[in-house]
Structure 1
Amino acid sequence: MITTVTLNAAIDKTYYLPSFPLGKVSRVQRFRAAPGGKGINVAKVVAQLGVPVTATGFVGGFNGEMIKQLLDRMGIKHDFVSVEGESRVCLNILDEENGVSTELLEPGPIVGPEALAQMEDKIREHAAKSRIVCFSGSLPAGVPKDFYVKLVGIAKEAGAYVILDASGDALRLGLEAGPDMIKPNEEEVEGLLGIEVKDEAALQKAVETLLQTYGMERISVSLGGAGSMVASSDGCFRVETPKVDVVNTVGCGDSYVAGMAVSLANGLSFEEGLALASAAGTSNAMTDEAGLIEPETVERLRQQVQIAKV
């Protein structure tokens, strides 16, 4: 089983507008609401790829209840810690005229000490019966910056393979607990090492340095539409994804993490896992909702992913 952790869960709302002029009234003719937050997006894609998954994290108020109800409709198991206040709403406005996406992200509820202790217990419980635990996303107010250190440590002690997909202090401090895999972008790599990455040769050196410094199993650096660079004990690999008509990039990284988690849970080879993860991320880009893929499209795309050792 795979467990996903979303400490700042959300309702993702997407508004589709023919155009989005600033300073004017726009009437929304079509919109979509879905359970969201990075870890929940991972859970949705894992479920679509046919692997058992449980979503946990913090939820609060009426929005929190809606998140759980929407997951129920999708057939996704969940076991959240309830907190006071309201879970956030993340609004994505798609300007269909020019294809531009504008995101508005609420902060989320304030989490108290009792809820933090309950979350530690949840991770201990679910990690003990999971092959993979994915920690994804930002920390809500009240959560210490180093909370991922504690949670990653608990999951690893329980024997789970841990993927950490965070940014800023949450990622930098979380590395202290030794996650098995991280998925930063180029800017986050620069921030972790305090350097400037000018080209792919410099990026390769940087990810290899991170791998050795923190003793991780693999690091996957997103290069957007250009694919990714992945370093592991087997070497450094450049992954190129097929060109597609991009509809929406929100959730592509989460879909990639889901594909990687599924490949690990199913015992796929390293390169098979890279192909599956890349195909899942690319498939999500072809849809208009974060965490939405088409398994048939994923299967077709994974045959087109190019992987070369560098």
Structure 2
Amino acid sequence: MITTVTLHAAIDRTLYVDKFGVGQVHRVNREVNEPGGKGNNVAKVIRQLGGQVTAAGIVAGNNGRFIESSLTERGIRTSFIQSAGESRVCLNILDNSSRSSTELLGLGPTMLEAEVEAMKNKVQELAIHSSVVVMSGSLPPGAPNTLYAELIRIVRSAGTRAFLDTGGAAFGVGLSAMPHFVKPNEQELAEWLGHMPRDVNEWARAARRLADQGIDEVCITLGSNGALAILNGKAYMAKPPFIQPVNTVGCGDAFVAGMAYAGERGDSAESRLRMAVAAAAANAMSSKAGDIDYDLFEEYEQQVQIITL
């Protein structure tokens, strides 16, 4: 079983407008509400790929109840800690004319010290019965920057693989606990490096720096250019199929889902990358974050190119 941890869960609300303009009044012609937060998106795609998954983390209020019940309806086990207040709402405004996306990310409740300790206990309990524990997304207000590092150590002590997908200070501190897998995107890696790499060779050197810190699987997602990976010491470039994306929100989460599920099955490095990139591409063709059409995923899986560097 795979467990996902979402400390900053959300309702992902996507609003479609004909043409979005700042300072204007808009009439929404379509609205989609989904259980969100990066870890929950990972859980949804793992389930769609055929995996068994438990979604854990923190939820609050009526929004939290919607998140949990919506995941349960999809056949996902849930094991959330209940907090006071309301889980956040993240708005994604899609402009039908330009196909552009504008995101507004809610703040959410402050994480209390008692909830930090409860989350450690929860992860320890779940890690014992899991092959992989995926920790995704930003830390909520009040959470210490060391929290992911502490959770990674708990997961590793259970003999379970820890996946980390976050940015900022939490990413840098999390590396010190040596997770099995990390997936920074271009901006997150540039922030960690202190500059934006200029070409694929610089990206590869940056990935190697991460791997040299004791991380078995390093994947740098590069948007429409695919992903660069160091998997158990070998370097790969994964090229996605050519698509015209509908909505890119959640593509990184779908990538992580593919890596986690294929890894649990014991697939080869090339097969893991192929599944991850195809899942990300399929997510880009859905109006929802953390959602794939399985037939489309299978079609894309045949089109992904894996190049050994």
Please name the residue that 2:74 is paired with.
74
The separation in 2 between residues aligned to 1:71 and 1:230, in whole angstroms, is 30
Instruction: Kindly state the Cα deviation for residue 195 of structure 1 after the two structures are TM-superposed.
Output: 4.4
Q: Aligned AA for 1:189?
A: L
The within-5 A match list for 1:112-261 is: 112-212=112-212, 214-261=213-260
Q: Secondary structure at the match of 1:44?
A: helix
Q: Partner residue of 1:31?
A: 31
Structure 2 CA distance for aligned equivalents of residues 158 and 277 of structure 1? 26
| Partner in structure 1 of residue 61 of structure 2 | 61
Aligned pair 1:9/2:12, yes or no?
no
Give distance in 2, aligned partners of 1:83 and 1:108.
10
- 3-state DSSP of counterpart to 1:169: helix
Is contact 2:216-2:233 (8 Å) kept? Answer: no
* Alignment partners' CA distance in 2, 1:244 and 1:197: 25
Distance, in Å, in 2 between the alignment partners of 1:252 and 1:73 is: 22
Question: C-alpha distance in 2, partners of 1:188/1:26?
Answer: 33
How far apart are 1:21 and its partner, in Å? 2.2
- Matched residue SS, 1:35: strand
AA paired with 2:172? R
Cα deviation code 1:274-306 (max 9, x no counterpart): 000000000000111000101111111111111
8 Å contact kept, 2:231–2:269: no
Q: What is the CA distance between 1:30 and its match in structure 2?
A: 1.3
Q: After alignment, is 4-13 or 198-207 more displaced?
A: 198-207
**3-state SS of the aligned residue for 1:143?**
coil
Q: Distance in 2 between matches of 1:300 and 1:28?
A: 33
Structure 1 contact 84–111 (Cα < 8 Å) conserved: no
Deviations 1:60-88 (A, max 9, x none): 11111111121122221101011111110
Structure 1: distance between partners of 2:234 and 2:269: 11
For 1:14, the aligned partner's letter is T
Offset of 1:199 from its aligned partner? 1.1
User: 2: CA distance between counterparts of 1:216 and 1:21?
Assistant: 44
CA contact (8 A) 1:146 1:170 kept: yes
CA–CA distance in structure 2, aligned partners of residues 219 and 191 of structure 1: 16
Query: 2:10 touches 2:89 (CA, 8 Å); kept in 1?
Result: yes
CA distance in 2, matches of 1:99, 1:226: 19
Partners of 1:263 and 1:302 in 2: how far apart?
A: 13
Residue 139 of structure 1 aligns with an amino acid whose one-letter code is: L
Structure 2 CA distance, aligned partners of 1:46 and 1:196?
Answer: 31
1:203, distance to aligned residue in structure 2 (A)? 1.3
Contact kept in structure 2, 1:149 and 1:174, CA below 8 Å: yes
Q: How many residues align?
A: 309
Normalised TM-score (structure 1) = 0.97
TM-score (norm 2): 0.98
C-alpha RMSD over aligned residues: 1.0
Amino acid at match of 1:221: I
What is the Cα deviation at residue 22 of structure 1? 2.1
Deviation at 1:187, TM superposition (A): 3.0
Could you tell me how far apart the structure 1 residues matched to 2:176 and 2:73 are?
A: 38
Residue 307 of structure 2 is matched in structure 1 by 308
* Aligned CA distance change for structure 1 residues 27 and 50 (closer, same or farther; 3 Å): same
Which one-letter code corresponds to 2:119 in the other structure?
M
Which letter maps to 1:141?
Answer: P
**Could you tell me which amino acid in structure 2 is paired with residue 116 of structure 1?**
V
CA distance in 1, matches of 2:264, 2:231: 18
The answer for unaligned runs of 5 or more in structure 2 is none
Aligned partner of residue 264 in structure 1, secondary structure? helix
Provide structure 1 residue ranges, at least 5 long, that are not aligned to the other structure: none
> How many angstroms does 1:111 deviate by?
1.1
8 A contact 1:16–1:30 mirrored in 2: yes
**Alignment partners' CA distance in 1, 2:189 and 2:116:** 29
